[in-house]
Structure 1
Amino acid sequence: MRAAAARRVKTGRRRPILADTPSEQDERLETLHSYNVLDTEAEADFDDIVDLASKICETPVSLISLVDEKRQWFKARVGFEPQETTLDQSVCSHAILDGDFTEIPDMGADPRTVDNPLYVGDPRVKFYAGAKLVAPNGQPIGTLCVLDTKPRTLTDFQRQALQTLSRHVMMQLELRKKIRIEEALRAEMDHRVKNSFQTIASLLRMATRKVQDPDAKDVLALVERRFGAVASLHSELMGQGGKSKVQAASYLEQLSKLLAAGAPGHVTIFCEADPGELQAAQASAVGMIVSEFVANSIKHAFPEDRAGEIKISLRRQVETDGWLLECRDNGRGHGGTVAGADSTGLGRMLMSTATEQLNGRLTTDFGADGALMRVCFRA
């Protein structure tokens, strides 16, 4: 106590008054931390807000101040160099205890701020006004504030504008939080679906090895191909952030890699596509057609391990605002049909159904130099 008194005599000032701890501090801090915003990089949306607040209120300093347990950290700032300060320099820690808006015309005349280092030292701040940042659960996490180096007051319009901008800050924080939660849920869903895909694919392979009937083997192989195409489509859709469209080139690349992994060593698969988007249903149908053509070629076009190539291309048709899917090989042995690799007719039925889903037209051309299949459909 004597040492403190001696310091007061020597310095001529008292220690800064720290704000009281909020009554629901644990919940308030939990709310603040749920936004995952502390110590993040600057963002233009928040920088624009403080710049606008400074201009509207005609103050040299504007801050988005987030009051943590032992510091205040600034998500955005104009006219103020530090990224954070201790709470003994924080006016915002007092402001979050008041109503929705706090205005201190002269910090030298207010007991909460008369000994604040920002007032008694550089930059000699004398005016403060702050609109609370209030989360949907009612917890204050900080303020949008403006500061000046001379005593003053704001106009009614400036006060209203500052409060409106503070609500906009919370909208931005809430938006980022919801996006982060949705991404986490999407990632969890993706993980579970992929695990399910892997489990089912393993069961299909096991069943195929145990079955002796050729027709049954063909059907199981067809199901496995269809399943693989669906898995590729799912992966591409998840990569598009949950949109109902996929990038044609990326999707076909994934599908061709899957088909190439199951192809014998003497058959090479090439794939190319123009830039553009496919609806999910269109991509599913295209995947079905491509998978069946490739399987048919592998089974019939290259007898006795004859080396060969299968080429898949998907091109935009500007004149018809559509797409042209071409599947070709340089082998022999299709037998004049592109019925699919199975002997049950299911492959032919699936390809016909897929073409109908595309509202497309399927044509084939077979010769000594290989097979060619074309499917035209509108975008």
Structure 2
Amino acid sequence: MNPPEWNIACMKAAPHPDQALRLETLRKYDILDTPRETDFDEIVELASALCNVPISVVNLIDEDRQWFKAEVGIGARETPLATSICSHVILSADFVEINDTHKDPRTADNELCMPADGLRFYAGALLTAPNGLPIGTLCVLDTKPNALNDFQKKALRTMARQVMRELDLRLALKTQNILRDEMDHRVKNSLQSVASLVRVYQGRVRRGADMTDAFDAIGRRIEATAALHEMLHDSPLDDAVMMDEFLSRIASLLQDSAPEHVSITCEAVPVAISTLVASSLAVIVSEFAANSIKHAFVDGEAGQVLITGAVQEDGALKVVCEDNGGAPVQSVPDETSVAGLGKRIMKASASQIGATLENGPGPNGYRMELIRPA
């Protein structure tokens, strides 16, 4: 069948109610304008044979056209939506059969259906993405009125699901490769961060100094990095984690290494934060807790370190760490000491995410407040 001219006006379908998301879903498959492939060609050939009709199409409904990933009996790869029967079908049930296009208001004035040798029969099963939105159809057509039997209808539905399984499998493989590359990049950056921390301590701490605290700081950074990567692996978010879950995990790790007389707790709101913000917060929170354990709770004195995370009315992120060690002021350590370097690293971490960091006496001990503007 030679396709007629496509520019004659006919009844055009309305856009899908969720058109923007539907188009976004379609384009995620990255299938439009790709070459013909045997996997899909075989499906339309089988559909045509099983339904005993001359035309079968894997049809994807784009913004202003219908594009054929595979077809038999058409001889074209795309047509405008003005002549698309499938653009009507994606607004309907998961399976539509039009026995005589001349008697259906959706198709009676369609340029492709009006001629004596035009399209008189249509049956199509939706290609539905996992989010429930239709991206196209697997359809069969005839040049005379027709009707499918129950077996043919079931077969067409089954083959439509097979098309979607193929598309979903390809998308999953593509996503897996992208995630693998992203994880490789993240791991590389994290290792570089740990290596940089080692070089800072190595270069600034005077010879002969006790490096126990430095090794502890490096260990905390490694544990925090491992926790971040583990949560990223399980997170449904793109390059982000939930602050309440992440800070609670960091607090738990710190508690595992804290003396029995020191309690480390966390109260944070469930808000998504990027991996960069999460990594910086882990460094800052860990250093504060380590300093509190060392300086605020001496001689086995029981105490608590509380970590809170919230979002202010202006959208700014606010993280507060405070202890109840009773020390109103901590002395400023020598910058060449491990403690002094720890404070410098905290400030640098805050600056890296565009946050301000203030330290000082709190109601019952020492307090640190971080503000990151929205």
Q: When the two structures are superposed, what TM-score results if normalisation uses the length of structure 1? A: 0.51
The structure-2 alpha-carbon separation of the partners of 1:274 and 1:242, relative to structure 1 and needing over 3 Å to count, comes to closer
What one-letter code is carried by the residue in structure 1 that aligns with 2:367? L
State yes or no: 1:324 paired with 2:277: no
Tell me if structure 2 keeps the 8 A contact 1:326–1:374: yes
Q: Write the deviation string for residues 162-206 of structure 1: whole angstroms up to 9, x where unpaired.
A: 6896782587445422343256557878999999999xx9xxxxx
Shift in Å at residue 348 of structure 1?
A: 1.2
Stretches of structure 1 lacking an aligned partner (at least 5 in a row): 1-47, 49-65, 73-90, 105-128, 202-211
Q: What is the Cα-based RMSD across aligned positions, in Å?
A: 5.2
The structure-2 alpha-carbon separation of the partners of 1:300 and 1:179, relative to structure 1 and needing over 3 Å to count, comes to farther
The structure-2 alpha-carbon separation of the partners of 1:324 and 1:149, relative to structure 1 and needing over 3 Å to count, comes to closer
The structure-2 alpha-carbon separation of the partners of 1:300 and 1:344, relative to structure 1 and needing over 3 Å to count, comes to closer
Matches within 5 A, 1:213-292: 215-241=210-236, 243-292=238-287
Aligned residue among 164, 168, 174 for 1:176? 168
- Partner Cα distance (2:126, 2:347) in 1: 58
Count of aligned residue pairs for this structure pair: 255
| Partner residue in 1 for 2:53 | 103
Tell me if structure 1 keeps the 8 A contact 2:357–2:371: yes
Aligned residue among 356, 361, 372 for 1:366? 361
Tell me if structure 1 keeps the 8 A contact 2:47–2:56: no
- Partner Cα distance (1:220, 1:315) in 2: 31
- Partner Cα distance (1:183, 1:375) in 2: 35
- Partner Cα distance (1:94, 1:186) in 2: 34
Question: Sequence identity, in percent?
Answer: 25
Shift in Å at residue 310 of structure 1?
A: 0.6
Higher Cα radius of gyration: 1
Tell me if structure 2 keeps the 8 A contact 1:229–1:284: yes
The structure-2 alpha-carbon separation of the partners of 1:148 and 1:274, relative to structure 1 and needing over 3 Å to count, comes to closer
Shift in Å at residue 237 of structure 1?
A: 2.6
| Partner residue in 1 for 2:141 | none
1:265 counterpart SS class? coil
Matches within 5 A, 1:329-348: 329-332=323-326, 336-337=330-331, 343=338, 345-348=340-343
- Partner Cα distance (1:354, 1:280) in 2: 13
Shift in Å at residue 230 of structure 1?
A: 2.1
Shift in Å at residue 337 of structure 1?
A: 4.5
Shift in Å at residue 161 of structure 1?
A: 7.5
Tell me if structure 1 keeps the 8 A contact 2:277–2:353: yes
The structure-2 alpha-carbon separation of the partners of 1:378 and 1:149, relative to structure 1 and needing over 3 Å to count, comes to closer
- Partner Cα distance (1:147, 1:161) in 2: 6
Matches within 5 A, 1:150-165: 157=112
The structure-2 alpha-carbon separation of the partners of 1:161 and 1:231, relative to structure 1 and needing over 3 Å to count, comes to farther
Shift in Å at residue 290 of structure 1?
A: 0.5
- Partner Cα distance (2:164, 2:264) in 1: 48
Shift in Å at residue 326 of structure 1?
A: 0.7
- Partner Cα distance (2:170, 2:365) in 1: 53
Tell me if structure 2 keeps the 8 A contact 1:338–1:348: no
Aligned residue among 348, 352, 365 for 1:357? 352
What one-letter code is carried by the residue in structure 1 that aligns with 2:369? R
The structure-2 alpha-carbon separation of the partners of 1:169 and 1:333, relative to structure 1 and needing over 3 Å to count, comes to farther
- Partner Cα distance (1:337, 1:162) in 2: 80
Matches within 5 A, 1:1-379: 93=46, 95=48, 103=53, 130-131=56-57, 157=112, 168-169=136-137, 172-182=164-174, 184-185=176-177, 215-241=210-236, 243-318=238-313, 320-332=314-326, 336-337=330-331, 343=338, 345-366=340-361, 369-379=364-374
- Partner Cα distance (1:282, 1:227) in 2: 16
Tell me if structure 2 keeps the 8 A contact 1:293–1:338: no
Q: When the two structures are superposed, what TM-score results if normalisation uses the length of structure 2? A: 0.52
- Partner Cα distance (1:190, 1:224) in 2: 24
Stretches of structure 2 lacking an aligned partner (at least 5 in a row): 1-21, 23-38, 61-67, 73-93, 114-118, 128-134, 139-162, 195-206
